[in-house]
Amino acid sequence: MEHSKQTQYSSNEKKDGGSVLNGHFDGMVKRSAAAQPPGAESGSHRPVMESWREERTRSVEDNEMSLPCLAAAYTTILRGLGEDPQRQGLLKTPWRAATAMQFFTKGYQEKIIDVLNDAIFDEDHDEMVIVKDIDMFSMCEHHLVPIFGRVHIGYLPNKRVLGLSKLARIVEIYSRRLQVQERLTKQIAVAITEALQPTGVGVVIEATHMCMVMRGVQKMNSKTVTSTMLGVFREDPKTRDEFLTLIRS
Amino acid sequence: MNGHCNVNVNDTVEKFQCNNGFSDLSIDTKKSERDTSRKEDEDKSCLDLHVLEAAYTSILRELGEDTDRQGLLRTPLRAAKAMQFLTKGYHETISDILNDAIFDEDHNEMVIVKNIDMFSLCEHHLVPFFGKVHIGYIPNKNVVGLSKLARIVELFSRRLQVQERLTKQIAMGISEALRPKGVAVVIEATHMCMVMRGVQKINSRTVTSTMLGVYLEDPKTREEFLTLSQNP
């Protein structure tokens, strides 16, 4: 389904001469579909840019089947840390930790197309729509430690608007995975663009990384801010300015 | 030390050791037994790291991820080291960290160190909980270096914990080291296991406290501590 969406999308842009999206975004799509970008390591199986387009599917049945293996791994971890897995407080911890981890990665079980649920409506509205302060919880793919923060999304509709909660659901799908904040920001922006073909999309994420706060450099108050601006949000500084001002207030 | 404080400490210590299989005293014993050979310790630690790494690789696969993709290539090793760091409190003892920083001082007024940032791991879900610790004590001819209070918090929080037990362990640790007239510990923390999953209540905070000695007996002393340790 992912591939067919991509093809349809490319054919659309050919039809109306790329009026919806600016050259930058077009360029990004074509680049990802075509050659391997220079930054990709030879060791990985696929180009770096493409990996974020894939929507992996895991099912509830897969979860049930992996649970014993996950629990066994967690028991090993408890022992490896020097704890006693048989003491009262830790008896059911491997199962709880395994279920928790499956919950934290439930984004792999969902597809955007299911979540949007046809909540796309024709509306003659072409002013900015912003949903801000969406709480986000993710897992750092490098240390398997939580990342949490807020996501602010703005878009300029092009005759089609999206149910507002669906923006938050898109955030949930992509954040409940092993993530890198830069990739998460881009995935959210691209998903909205593909679903709505709006005039522009802006996504800003401000998050705290426990891997930096609880360990390593241990900077308690540090925050990481990433943003992705597509379409008019990228081309037109005034639009971008309006978006950034409105999310700050 | 007053009679009450003695009684309270001993009772609490006994009850405490029965209930918690991993009390500080048992840690001390384990460490002294292991102290026999440093090379043995290092070898064991290396072996543990490999075991943890393999476990994390298995976890990544079972979650449906691709362990060969660039971002995850060294994740099992990083996650294993991170987990070892987050549980480093198991390998330290009070006597090591206090480092003889106990001084004779004729001071018997309250000493408070507040807003000590604390990061720990929930022993039920292996997910972080973090917050602030406020410690107060009334010295009995001995004061302790102020940073040592924060180091005691680190010692007990860098373990698989339950907030109630953590509060008590900190209080007991200070009590046993200093024999003060009273110790008070308050912890206010956010539990990611409640925020990121389960009931998902983002603004919830858990507050626990342990009062020993005069803080337990005398309501005015307790009130003074609670007022001074609050943030406006």
DSSP assignment of chain B: --HHHHHHHHHHHHHHHHH-TT-HHHHHHHHHHHTT-HHHHHHHHHHHHHHHHHHHHHHHHHTT--TTSGGGTTHHHHHHHHHHHHTGGGG--HHHHHTT-EEE----S-EEEEEEEEEEEETTT--EEEEEEEEEEE-SSEEE-HHHHHHHHHHHHSSEE-HHHHHHHHHHHHHHHH--SEEEEEEEEEEHHHHTSTT--TT--EEEEEEEEHHHH-HHHHHHHHHHH---
Of the candidates B65, B83, B128, the beta carbon closest to that of A146 is on B128
Residue B73 lies in a domain: yes
Q: Is-contact B214 B171, C-beta < 8 A?
A: no
Examine the domain organization and report whether B143 and B117 are in the same domain: yes
Examine the domain organization and report whether B76 and B154 are in the same domain: no
Residue B14 lies in a domain: no
Residue B52 lies in a domain: yes
Examine the domain organization and report whether B99 and B77 are in the same domain: no
Q: What is the pLDDT of residue B192?
A: 96
Structural domain for B221, as ranges: 95-229
Q: Is A242 left (phi over 0), alpha (psi -120 to 50) or beta?
A: alpha
pLDDT above 90: percentage of residues in chain B: 72
Examine the domain organization and report whether B70 and B167 are in the same domain: no
Instruction: For residues B16-22, give the mean pLDDT.
Output: 39
Instruction: For residues B152-175, give the mean pLDDT.
Output: 96
Examine the domain organization and report whether B110 and B86 are in the same domain: no
Question: CA angle at residue B26 from B24 to B30, to 5 degrees?
Answer: 115
From CA A108, how far away is CA A106, in angstroms rounded? 5
Read off the CATH number of the domain in which B210 is found.
3.30.1130.10
Examine the domain organization and report whether B157 and B221 are in the same domain: yes
Of the candidates B56, B162, B192, the beta carbon closest to that of A144 is on B56
Between A66 and A28, the more confident residue is: A66
Residue B40 lies in a domain: yes
Question: CA angle at residue A151 from A146 to A152, to 5 degrees?
Answer: 170
Examine the domain organization and report whether B157 and B131 are in the same domain: yes
Q: What is the pLDDT of residue A18?
A: 35
Q: CA nearest B70 in A: which residue? A: A44
Read off the CATH number of the domain in which B49 is found.
1.10.286.10
Is B62–A66 a contact, with Cβ atoms under 8 angstroms apart?
Answer: yes
CB pairs under 8 A between A and B: 155
Residue B8 lies in a domain: no
pLDDT above 90: percentage of residues in chain A: 68
Q: Is-contact B73 A51, C-beta < 8 A?
A: no
Q: Express each pLDDT in A190-222 by its tens digit.
A: 999 999 999 999 999 999 999 999 999 999 999
The distance of Cα B162 from the centroid of its chain, to the nearest Å, equals 10
What backbone torsions phi and psi does residue A131 show, to the nearest 5 degrees? -120, 115
Examine the domain organization and report whether B40 and B106 are in the same domain: no
**A157 pLDDT higher than 90:** yes
**A11 pLDDT higher than 60:** no
Kind and range of the H or E run holding A232: helix A232-235
Examine the domain organization and report whether B224 and B137 are in the same domain: yes
**A180 pLDDT higher than 90:** yes
The whole-angstrom distance between A73's CA and the closest CA on chain B is 5
Examine the domain organization and report whether B75 and B155 are in the same domain: no
Is-catalytic flag, A142? yes
From CA A81, how far away is CA A63, in angstroms rounded? 26
Q: What is the pLDDT of residue A118?
A: 82
Per DSSP bridges, beta strands A146-156 and A129-140 are: antiparallel
Would you state the structure tokens that stand for residue A121, as one six-digit string? 């409506």
**A1 pLDDT higher than 50:** no
Q: What is the pLDDT of residue A82?
A: 93
Residues in a beta bridge with B189: B131, B206
Cα torsion for A203, A142, B64, B66, to the nearest 10°?
100
Instruction: Choose the final residue of a domain: B75, B90, B105.
Output: B90
Task: Kindly report which listed range (B54-58, B100-104, B161-165) carries the lowest average pLDDT score.
Answer: B100-104
**Catalytic positions of B:** 122-125, 163, 191, 193
Q: Express each pLDDT in A102-114 by its tens digit.
A: 999 999 998 888 8
Would you state the structure tokens that stand for residue A73, as one six-digit string? 């791994």
From CA B7, how far away is CA A51, in angstroms rounded? 64
**A185 pLDDT higher than 80:** yes
Q: What is the pLDDT of residue A56?
A: 64
Kindly report the number of other CB atoms within 10 A of residue A15's CB atom: 8
Examine the domain organization and report whether B201 and B167 are in the same domain: yes
From CA B206, how far away is CA B97, in angstroms rounded? 28
Of the candidates B55, B62, B90, the beta carbon closest to that of A82 is on B90
Residues in a beta bridge with B206: B189
Residue B22 lies in a domain: no
Examine the domain organization and report whether B55 and B155 are in the same domain: no
Instruction: Choose the final residue of a domain: B90, B118, B138.
Output: B90
> Is the ipTM reported for this complex over the cut 0.90?
no
Q: What is the pLDDT of residue B36?
A: 55
The whole-angstrom distance between A133's CA and the closest CA on chain B is 13
Instruction: Choose the final residue of a domain: B40, B65, B90.
Output: B90
The whole-angstrom distance between B135's CA and the closest CA on chain A is 20
Would you state the structure tokens that stand for residue B142, as one six-digit string? 């001995």
Q: How many domains does chain B have?
A: 2
Residue B27 lies in a domain: no
Q: How confident is the model at residue A249 (pLDDT cuts 50, 70, 90)?
A: confident
Q: What is the pLDDT of residue A20?
A: 35
Q: What mean pLDDT is reported for chain A?
A: 82
Q: How confident is the model at residue A137 (pLDDT cuts 50, 70, 90)?
A: very high
Instruction: For residues B67-95, give the mean pLDDT.
Output: 94
pLDDT above 70: percentage of residues in chain B: 84
Q: Express each pLDDT in A34-88 by its tens digit.
A: 343 443 344 444 443 344 445 667 888 889 999 999 999 999 999 999 999 999 9
Q: CA nearest B51 in A: which residue? A: A80
Q: What is the pLDDT of residue B39?
A: 75
- Which own/partner contact pairs does A190-193 have at CB distance under 8 Å and 24+ positions apart? A190/A52, A190/A53, A190/A228, A190/A230, A191/A112, A192/A153, A192/A155, A192/A162, A192/A167, A193/A21, A193/A25, A193/A230, A193/A231
Instruction: For residues B109-116, give the mean pLDDT.
Output: 95
Half-sphere exposure of B129 (CA within 13 A, CB side): 28
Q: What is the pLDDT of residue B37?
A: 66
Residue B136: C-alpha distances to residues B87, B110, B182 (Å) = 25, 7, 8
Residue B26 lies in a domain: no
Cα torsion for A65, A68, A73, A78, to the nearest 10°?
150
Q: CA nearest B124 in A: which residue? A: A93
